[in-house]
């Protein structure tokens, strides 16, 4: 496999997946770079490198979350940081949109989140099944259930955020 | 009557059914309003998920990574060129929207389930790329035909079929000036530039497999449209509509 070709072809989708998974472009940068670094040591054809990279990125993100949680526990006794200065309205609106989506995304299980994001990147059911360790015949039902969960979570958030009259 | 399970409806949406099951599901949907409603709910949930990701990506501003940044960096080269990108995705769905459309004959025909494909569903989002070039997108229930006109030298258009099928490309004029890359799951054309644009206006024709019902259309690494289950979701500002298609501003 030509690494440059793999990087050029797979980076955009992989980075998008990582951003959506983490909600943090900087984290996405790091874990995607780490995944490609690990790819160098693999001898995989391009078609196998694609699902392999997505699994590695998801695992790297999971490890980060665990480390973050561990660190949060250690810092729990510390006082909270001061709030950032108020941003302009447009920035606040964007931030609010992101926050709404992230709350709905984070409300999904890790498996559901990875499954929907991989589906969004065009993975076939058998590839998703392979990456998540589930039966290919169960993916349709799992996707449908996860999408409904997301819709409910997002809809609930919308209703909750509407100003009361 | 036994209703279809969500798993079957989702597999229908995601093009994961084998031909026999697809026919069975199509037959059932044609005669069962409850299941059509269930199908609509699942599609709506899928659309909500996709649209929310667009909001999420826009809010973070860097979702497509360095390629998007690179595309923005090319903006000055687009200014003044009056570049036009015309991508036409055709099929039965557009015929349903625009009966008698003169372009109807361009498309590949109708599939058995074309009546179940909803009309164009275009979500307008941002317009981070400069104005000046346009893409018109036609909804399709399967066959994807893309027409590209007068796109600037170096512009890279990539159509990535979600199912990894390989497309074929032909170029009526100016073939020597365009470069095609056809690989597994990807068909890419790098533009020949305005000077090499065919005088006939036929442009570059990219023809993807009839089975294709989902994929992504990118310009310089920036996603401008998604095709999913025969539906088109534009990811750039929709500025005009012509010939039943959707025009998306992307250039400067």
Whether B235 contacts chain A with CB within 8 A: no
Is the pLDDT confidence value at B50 over 90?
A: no
Mean pLDDT of B51-74: 54
Burial of B52 (0-12, 13-18, 19+ CB in 10 A): buried
Whole-number pLDDT of residue B174: 38
CA distance to partner chain B, nearest, from residue A59 (Å): 19
Mean pLDDT of chain A: 80
Is B59 within 8 Å of A95 when comparing Cβ atoms?
yes
pLDDT at position B169 is 41
State the nearest Cα–Cα gap between B231 and chain A, in angstroms: 14
Give the count of beta carbons closer than 10 Å to the beta carbon of residue A8: 12
- The phi, psi pair for B224, rounded to 5°, reads -110, -20
Q: Which residue has the higher pLDDT, A18 or A85?
A: A18
Q: The pTM is what? A: 0.48
Q: What is the per-residue pLDDT for B23?
A: 84
Q: Which two tokens stand for residue A49?
A: 């490198």
Query: A153 to chain B: which residues are within 8 Å by CB?
Result: none
Query: What is the DSSP pairing of strand B186-190 with strand B179-183?
Result: antiparallel
Tokens of A13: 């989708």
Model confidence at B250: pLDDT above 70: no
Strand arrangement, sheet containing B231-234: B179-183, B186-190, B156-161, B215-219, B222-228, B231-234
H-run or E-run covering A118: helix A110-120
- pLDDT of B237 > 50? The answer is no
Q: What is the DSSP string of A43-104?
A: ---HHHHHHHHHHHHHHHHHHHHHHHHHHHHHTTTSPPPPPPPPPPHHHHHHHHHHHHHHHH
Q: Which of B87, B81, B188, B190 is nearest to B135 (CA)?
A: B87
Residue with the bigger pLDDT between A71 and B48: it is B48
Tell me the per-residue pLDDT of B144-195, one tens digit each, with 9 for 90 and over.
Answer: 444 444 444 445 555 554 444 444 344 433 333 334 443 333 344 444 333 3
Q: Name the token pair of B39.
A: 């199908």
Residue for token pair 């059932």: B28
- pLDDT band for A34, please (50, 70, 90 cuts): confident
Residue B211 confidence (pLDDT): 43
- Range scoring the smallest mean pLDDT among A141-155, B96-110, B172-186, B217-231: B96-110
Q: Which residue of B has its CA nearest to A24?
A: B60
Mean pLDDT on B34-56? 84
pLDDT in tens, A78-126: 444 554 554 566 677 777 878 888 888 999 999 999 999 999 888 889 9
Band (pLDDT 50/70/90 cuts) for residue B216 is: low
Residue A139: per-residue pLDDT: 95
Residue among A11, A46, A145 whose CB faces B65 most closely: A11
Interface predicted TM-score of the whole assembly (ipTM), two decimals: 0.71
Per residue in B110-133, pLDDT (tens digit) is: 222 222 222 233 333 222 322 333
More confident residue, B198 or B46: B46
Give the count of beta carbons closer than 10 Å to the beta carbon of residue A69: 10
Greater model confidence, B214 or B65: B214
Instruction: Give residue B45's pLDDT.
Output: 86
CB pairs under 8 A between A and B: 123
């Amino acid at each position: 496999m030509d690494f440059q070709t793999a990087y050029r072809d797979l980076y955009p989708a992989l980075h998008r997946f990582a951003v959506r998974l983490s909600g943090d472009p900087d984290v996405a940068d790091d874990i995607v770079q780490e995944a490609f670094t690990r790819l160098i040591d693999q001898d995989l054809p391009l078609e196998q490198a694609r699902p392999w990279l997505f699994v590695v990125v998801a695992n790297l993100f999971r490890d980060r979350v665990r480390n973050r949680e561990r660190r949060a526990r250690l810092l729990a006794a510390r006082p909270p940081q001061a709030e950032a200065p108020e941003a302009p309205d447009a920035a606040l609106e964007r931030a609010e949109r992101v926050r709404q989506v992230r709350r709905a995304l984070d409300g999904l299980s890790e498996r559901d989140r990875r499954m929907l994001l991989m589906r969004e990147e065009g993975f076939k059911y058998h590839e998703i099944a392979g990456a998540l360790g589930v039966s290919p015949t169960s993916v349709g039902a799992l996707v449908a259930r996860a999408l409904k969960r997301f819709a409910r979570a997002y809809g609930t958030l919308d209703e909750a955020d509407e100003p009361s009259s | 009557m036994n209703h279809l399970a969500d798993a079957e409806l989702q597999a229908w949406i995601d093009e994961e059914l084998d031909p026999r099951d697809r026919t069975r599901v199509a037959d059932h949907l044609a005669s069962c309003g409850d299941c059509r409603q269930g199908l609509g709910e699942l599609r709506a949930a899928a659309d909500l998920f996709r649209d929310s990701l667009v909001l999420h990506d826009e809010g973070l501003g860097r979702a497509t990574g360095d390629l998007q940044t690179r595309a923005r960096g090319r903006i000055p080269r687009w200014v003044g060129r009056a570049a036009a990108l015309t991508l036409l995705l055709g099929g039965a769905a557009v015929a349903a929207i625009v009966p008698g459309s003169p372009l109807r004959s361009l498309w590949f025909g109708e599939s058995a389930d074309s009546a179940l494909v909803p009309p164009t569903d275009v979500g307008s989002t941002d317009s981070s790329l400069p104005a000046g070039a346009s893409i018109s997108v036609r909804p399709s229930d399967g066959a994807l035909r893309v027409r590209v006109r007068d796109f600037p030298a170096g512009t890279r258009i990539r159509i990535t079929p979600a199912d990894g099928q390989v497309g074929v490309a032909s170029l009526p004029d100016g073939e020597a000036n365009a470069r095609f890359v056809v690989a597994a799951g990807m068909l890419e054309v790098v533009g020949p530039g305005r000077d090499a644009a065919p005088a006939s206006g036929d442009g570059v024709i990219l023809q993807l497999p009839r089975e294709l019902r989902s994929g992504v259309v990118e310009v310089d690494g920036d996603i401008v449209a998604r095709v999913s289950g025969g539906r088109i979701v534009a990811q750039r500002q929709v500025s005009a509509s012509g010939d039943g298609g959707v025009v998306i501003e992307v250039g400067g």
